[in-house]
């Protein structure tokens, strides 16, 4: 299934590196989300974009910077991350309103050394 794709699938980076995660959805949705999933913890919503406009920033540190150039693409720019930022980062999309069914991408497993 290729409704929501994410690249890269795995990423190892040092604390001084800058990297970007990419998400693309082919479902015609207008809402896109970034989630963080750490071991044994609930999905943590990070950012929400609706029609390319950011409508939610869930108290995410500024070392995470999202970008949504259009309704189909979503980026998460990373810089000066900490080891505790190591997690699975999931992108999702849905039709607005936000409470409609969300479809997830395969995630990027990030390790910060």
Partner 1 sequence: RKEVEQDPGPFNVPEGATVAFNCTYSNSASQSFFWYRQDCRKEPKLLMSVYSSGNEDGRFTAQLNRASQYISLLIRDSKLSDSATYLCGGPNDYKLSFGAGTTVTVRA
Contact range with partner 1 by CB under 8 A, out of 17-25, 36-44, 64-72, 74-82? 36-44
* Cβ nearer to partner 1, comparing 56 with 67: 56
104 binds partner 1 (CB under 8 A): yes
Structure token digits, residue 73: 């693409």
Least separation, in Å, of the C-beta of 17 and partner 1? 23
How far apart are CB 28 and partner 1 at their closest, in Å?
A: 17
Strands 4-7 vs 53-57: parallel, antiparallel or unpaired: unpaired
Choose between 75 and 98: whose C-beta lies nearer to partner 1.
98
- Provide DSSP, the chain: --SEEEE-SEEEE-TT-EEEEEEEE-S--SEEEEEEE-TTS--EEEEEEETTEEEEE-S--TTEEEEEEETTEEEEEEES--GGG-EEEEEEEEPSSTTSPPEE---EEEEE-
Q: Tell me the per-residue interface mask from 60 to 99 with partner 1, x by CB under 8 A, - otherwise.
A: ----------------------------x-x------xxx
Q: Interface residues with partner 1 (CB under 8 A)?
A: 40-43, 45, 48, 55-56, 88, 90, 97-99, 101-107, 109
């Amino acid at each position: 299934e290729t409704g929501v794709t994410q690249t890269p699938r795995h990423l190892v980076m040092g604390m001084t590196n800058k990297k970007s995660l990419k998400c693309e959805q082919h479902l015609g949705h207008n809402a896109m989300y970034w989630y963080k999933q750490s071991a044994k913890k609930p999905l943590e919503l990070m950012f929400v974009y609706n029609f390319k406009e950011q409508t939610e920033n869930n108290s995410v540190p500024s070392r995470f910077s999202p970008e949504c150039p259009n309704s189909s693409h979503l980026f998460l720019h990373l810089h000066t991350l900490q080891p505790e930022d190591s997690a699975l980062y999931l992108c999702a999309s849905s039709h607005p309103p936000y409470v409609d069914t969300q479809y997830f991408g395969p995630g990027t497993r990030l390790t910060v050394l």
